[in-house]
Amino acid sequence: MLQTHIGGVEIKALARDFGTPVFVYDRAIIEQRIADLKGFPVIRFAQKACSNIAILSLMRKRGVVVDAVSAGEIHRALKAGFKPDDVVYTADIFDRASLELIVEHRMPVNCGSLDMIAQYGERCPGREITLRINPGFGHGHSQKTNTGGEGSKHGIWHELIDECLAAAKKYSLKVTGLHLHIGSGSDFEHLAQVGNALIKIASRLPDLTHISGGGGLPTPYRPADKPLDIGAFTKLWLDTQARMEKQLGRKIKLEVEPGRYLVAEAGNLITEVRAVKKQGTYTYALLDAGFNNLARPVMYGSYHPISVCPQGAAPSETQDVVVGGRLCESGDIFTQAEGGYVETRKLPKMQVGDLLTLHCAGAYGFVMGSNYNTMPLAPEVLVSNGKPILIRERQTAEDLLRGEHIPADL
């Protein structure tokens, strides 16, 4: 397909002013996705999906709170203006730096292992904790995004609740929260299972005040994908909350924990076509971006919509083309299936200098970037009310080499 604008701004102008590759986010889409979930009392953004502090600040000003999975994400959240009480540390371990920050800021924690309970209790006896429970089943669009069942490292195994309560009691910790998340791309059948599991476990937690069913809200990447039925999704969780409150005889606060749902469709990776070449029966369009910018295709075989913005007149022909990156790596292909199988995409015929946009790149895009092949991280731009604003500069050669030293005796 052809596309010439993002958020009302010309793609050519974005490429000219900020260079390529460049990530561009449409503020209006982020705000709409937040509004979609207004039926939930608490929206907690899984910032690992897109953690630029400008994006985090935008969400904070719209009433969204966040989680953090590392010391770095704690620093990001605080820099973006969140209060410590608005940040929940969710992980399966405490690295030493994260634990020190949590102790210092009295930050809420969501424990995904028995060792976390003990380590936290030793430092912070008498405080409150949330338990992340692995219910024994999971679901996801890829095995690598399945976060439940015995094949997943995440959460405390559901048969160990008694051990959790005993560990908490040892350190006078109150278990006030319960969290279940079984994977990305969960459907309503699996979410109903999560709700039932939450209710069953909740009956064993006398101090419970809040629950989270995690995130995993699907994003339509392929043309045939249907958007999430937000009304049905919200109703499912509100019904779960009501059933739990009736069973327990008290009010329970409900959280939803979206990550990619809030940002995926808002993000775009603009890149330039730098070569078009024949390889046997395949035609390859090679870009100045690579999996150092967008790793989802090589990691998961993920599909991203692709559009072309020609430098000249719109082409009248289409072609079946493999879209590849610029890295010295055979797996650097943006049109591939899980397992690394190369696929073609029917796109307008391209030539060197045309601009190509990989859409739905706002979640797990920039945040999974790397300096592989000593490539700089791309800049990030937020389009707000038709105006592009630079929210992260492109790395320089000096940035890439900072911190490295050649010993004098070499």
- Our separate counts of H helices and E strands in the chain read 12, 22
The structure tokens 């994977």 sit at: 183
User: Per-residue b/e over 63-77, b at no fewer than 16 CB within 10 Å?
Assistant: ebbbbbbbbebbebb
Report how far residue 188's alpha carbon sits from residue 167's, in angstroms, rounded to the nearest whole number: 34
Report how far residue 178's alpha carbon sits from residue 305's, in angstroms, rounded to the nearest whole number: 36
Neighbours of 233 (CB within 10 A): 22
Residue 228: closest CA among 253, 256, 267: 256
Report how far residue 82's alpha carbon sits from residue 63's, in angstroms, rounded to the nearest whole number: 10
Report how far residue 292's alpha carbon sits from residue 371's, in angstroms, rounded to the nearest whole number: 6
Token code pair at residue 105: 């800021």
DSSP H helical segments within 145-279, as ranges? 161-170, 188-202, 230-248, 260-263
**Are 51 and 87 a contacting pair, CB within 8 Å?**
no
Please give the full DSSP string across 303-342, using - where no structure is assigned: ---EEEE-SSSPPS-EEEEEEE-SSS-TT-BSSEETTTEE
Report how far residue 188's alpha carbon sits from residue 275's, in angstroms, rounded to the nearest whole number: 44
Q: Which residues are catalytic?
A: 328
Token code pair at residue 275: 């070569």
CA distances from 258 to 139, 211, 386 (A): 16, 14, 26
The structure tokens 């052809």 sit at: 2
